[in-house]
Structure 1
Amino acid sequence: MNNAYHFPNCIINGRLKVPGDKSMSHRGVLLAAMAKGQSVINGLLDSEDCKSTIEACQALGVDIQTVGQQTFIESPGISSWRPPKQPINLGNSGTTARLLSGVLAAFQHPVKLTGDESLKQRPMKRVIGPLSTMGARFTFEGEPDRLPFIIQGSELKSISYELPLPSAQVKSAILLAGMSTYGKTIVREPIKTRDHTEKMVKAFGGTIDEDHTLRSVEGKQFLKGAHLTIPGDPSSAAFWIAATVITPNSELQLEDLSLNETRIGFIRVLQRMGASIDVTVKDYVGLEPVGDVYVRSSTLMPTSLSKEEIPSLIDEVPLLALVATQTEGTMTLEHINELRFKETDRIHATVEILNSLGANLNEEEESIKIEGKSDLKGGHVTSYNDHRMAMLAVVASFISNTPVIIDNIDCINISYPNFFQNLNGILQDYVRDE
């Protein structure tokens, strides 16, 4: 398929509501499935990844129906789940694989989890290790610590565990497993990661305590159905923020966006680079701040990233690399080794994509060095079948001299099915004053 993108004489202008937050959607479905009774979720993200979580819960006996913007989840509670009749295929969703492993750690029946070829290559040891310590048993069909595997739950014991690497998914898996233990399970995270699990558990009548770097949960908690609203996803909004900042004469207002402090590191870094971005918290949905972001095209300067802020922008690092190609000077994105273990090696993919378009990037083991300012020329790129890499290439086409031709854009459906619909809604021809 010839997917060519080029927007000469176009600007970004208007207002936009991006789809619901992917991280919160996953957690909302899983917690509603664990809870007894009916839950209603407004604005659940309709993506391939989130469908994997829904279908996994349905395979365990949870009734889930979507009507318009509302998703109705009727569950007998985790203690009454039924064993699935066949292996649960999680598609491309690493979030589902890790969080569901934590939930199933106490399930008394064996469950086989598998996924697509990309997911089968992603590391699971970081979550298998602590869950095994708690008493879960894993049987591998192929390479150890990779899908597919069979997880056999048991009577879990509580643990105290320090995350060796920042990971909200591993933290959440341990805390969700800890809800089914006797005693208190403690997770220490030296660097703070996204905290949607901690906030959302409270909506279902549960409690996760937070004390500086410690997260703790008492076992044998009883969750009950809840009503939730999922705000817009800041990681999806980041594509339009980046596009607006680097496209001359552009301005955009993003509405009803999650402004959780653990998720907007990308905005903070862009502001530090000189970007004209205003953030306004308008409301709270549960414990989650929600509001608007107003962004304008800007002249930017390089900056550096601290190790502590990486978890709040890890998904947006490729976009930062693109933005850095439009600054005068050198910018190095450090402490980003985690990107090598995503749907593809995103350090390598980012460097390859942007260099093929005329940028000047150098790849190191845990960093990317960008020499600006680059005049992007367009050309053929591969998306590596990675949704974020495909969308990165589309955003790069806003400032390319010739079309950017992407080998595969279908992977965008993994996280953002209406990406191009949103793009068309904010794209305008630019008419210069005579």
Structure 2
Amino acid sequence: MNIEIIPHTLVGSVNAVASKSHAHRLLIAAALSKRPPAISIGTTSRDIEATRTCLQQLRKEIPVLDCGESGSTLRFLLPVAMALKERAVFLGSGRLPQRPISPLKEEMEAHGCTFINKHRKKGEAREICEIRGRLQGGIFTLPGNISSQYITGLLYALPLLKENSRIQITTPLESRGYVDLTLDVLKKFRIQIYTAEKEGCPTYMIEGRQQYLPPGDMEAEGDWSNIAFWVIAGILSRDSGIICNGIDPQSIQGDRAILNLARRMGGKVTEKGHSILVMSDSLRSTHIDASAIPDLVPILAVAASTAKGVTHIHNAHRLRIKESDRLAAMYDCLSRVGANIKEEPGGLLIEGVPQLKGGTVSGYNDHRIVMAMTVASIVSDSPIIIEGAEAVNKSYPTFFEDFEALGGEYRVL
């Protein structure tokens, strides 16, 4: 689906969709419980449904887990499946079969699993790997700068094993907020994880033979990752203002950092309960370390494109292995609409211009690229055409409905 976005200032209120990160974790913990609680998820998405479908597959003797395009589903369930099964097959679509699973793969191979890679096509999906052999406990060693999703997968799986285990992180842990979110959910399900830390490198000690014991029915939090698009839309709309509802100001989600970043860029942020009002007088540049907030980079790049001064986004190298190469994608998209932007090996350098211009950009089959470029239309002097806008269904199927409710205008081409 190609769409044309007509430039408009946005104003009004919007409700947060359910956090994909929190929903994945709650669903997995619930499925591993002997008496699974009901998990309430206000709004769903393709990634959340991929996790739900895969968890149903785990009831089978040889599960075939189609992860769709969800990297979280794949990386969380690789060790979980092999803690429970002797054999499992993992499928994926889009860019997922090409996205890395090392060094998790090598650590699992060192602990009883054998990976067989055939890359056969099965319908719309492609086989990522077949795994044989139960996962065994022991010492797992992972760097902290590759993917926090590997750590989360092991934290879910290792309490189920007979043996005690330890996860040693060998370099300072990036995206720590996502691991903290995992630990918070596990604690609620009475899974005990002991943590020691030295120079930013944590070690997680996990006893085997634990049981998942839910506290009762639970609800997924509002999503800070997706509400970030409306936060930036609010500061780009200047004094019009956008109210964002249904978000927990005490959430462990790392992308809650969007509020402080918005303030640093000149945003006026007023918090009240589970709502925030966002607006601004003018935007200014800032220095952004993206190591803990990689998912915010696309929309922060849009904010920087018309901010006064030069914004440097760095420590963002992991964005090259997301649904798209997000650094290259944002460089390409913003360049096409008149931004002064330079791509670096691990980041972006953006000098603000007074206004963007219209143009045609690819959505790169990436939900965050599509949403970011839609918000960019607020500061454009003419329409922006986005090719492949249906990518928003991955995490936020109602994005364009909410955009329209805030005064946005678009038409399907």
What TM-score comes out, normalization by structure 1 length?
0.85
Residues 1:215 and 2:200 are matched in the alignment: no
2:187 paired residue among 199, 202, 206: 202
Structure 1 residue 135: Cα displacement: 2.5
Distance 2:135 2:286 in 1: 49
Residues 1:338 and 2:318 are matched in the alignment: yes
1:6 is matched with: 6
1:120 is matched with: 97
Matches within 5 A, 1:26-425: 26-61=24-59, 82-84=61-63, 87-142=64-119, 148-165=128-145, 167-181=147-161, 182-188=163-169, 190-191=172-173, 192-194=176-178, 195-212=180-197, 213-225=202-214, 226-258=216-248, 259-260=251-252, 262-279=254-271, 282=273, 291-306=274-289, 310-311=291-292, 313-425=293-405
Report SS of the residue matched to 1:424: helix
CA contact (8 A) 1:6 1:404 kept: yes
Structure 1 residue 155: Cα displacement: 5.0
Structure 1 residue 421: Cα displacement: 1.7
State the Cα deviation string for residues 345-388 of structure 1 (Å, max 9, x = none).
00000010011011111111111110112421111111011111
State the Cα deviation string for residues 174-218 of structure 1 (Å, max 9, x = none).
212211231132343623342221111122222223444333321
CA contact (8 A) 2:159 2:210 kept: yes
Report SS of the residue matched to 2:39: strand
Distance 1:158 1:268 in 2: 40
CA contact (8 A) 2:191 2:211 kept: yes
Structure 1 residue 2: Cα displacement: 4.2
Residue identity matched to 1:330 = V
Residue identity matched to 1:35 = S
State the Cα deviation string for residues 58-104 of structure 1 (Å, max 9, x = none).
1222xxxxxxxxxxxxxxxxxxx6333xx322110000000000201
Distance 1:411 1:428 in 2: 18
2:123 is matched with: none
Q: Which moved more, 1:370-379 or 1:354-363?
A: 370-379
Report SS of the residue matched to 1:310: coil
1:75 is matched with: none
Report SS of the residue matched to 2:329: helix
What TM-score comes out, normalization by structure 2 length?
0.89
Structure 1 residue 49: Cα displacement: 0.6
CA contact (8 A) 2:83 2:158 kept: no
CA contact (8 A) 1:11 1:249 kept: no
CA contact (8 A) 2:160 2:211 kept: no
Residue identity matched to 2:287 = S
Structure 1 residue 261: Cα displacement: 5.6
Report SS of the residue matched to 2:312: strand
Q: Which moved more, 1:385-394 or 1:291-300?
A: 291-300
CA contact (8 A) 1:134 1:157 kept: yes
Structure 1 residue 44: Cα displacement: 5.0
Structure 1 residue 254: Cα displacement: 1.6
CA contact (8 A) 1:121 1:147 kept: no
Distance 1:155 1:47 in 2: 30
1:21 is matched with: 19
After superposition, the Cα gap between the structure-2 partners of 1:155 and 1:385, relative to the gap in structure 1 and judged at 3 Å, is closer
Report SS of the residue matched to 1:368: strand
Q: How many residues are matched?
A: 392
Structure 1 residue 162: Cα displacement: 4.2
Report SS of the residue matched to 2:95: helix
Distance 2:42 2:133 in 1: 29
Distance 2:316 2:56 in 1: 36
After superposition, the Cα gap between the structure-2 partners of 1:3 and 1:183, relative to the gap in structure 1 and judged at 3 Å, is same
For structure 2, list consecutive stretches of 5 or more residues without a partner in the other structure.
121-125
CA contact (8 A) 2:40 2:218 kept: yes
Residue identity matched to 1:214 = T
Distance 1:300 1:343 in 2: 29
Q: Which has the higher contact order (CA 8 A, sep 6+)?
A: 2
Over the aligned positions, Cα root-mean-square deviation in angstroms equals 2.2
CA contact (8 A) 2:305 2:351 kept: yes
CA contact (8 A) 2:288 2:311 kept: no
For structure 1, list consecutive stretches of 5 or more residues without a partner in the other structure.
62-80, 283-290, 430-434
Distance 2:103 2:229 in 1: 29
CA contact (8 A) 1:102 1:173 kept: yes
Distance 1:320 1:38 in 2: 39
CA contact (8 A) 1:127 1:173 kept: no
Report SS of the residue matched to 1:405: strand
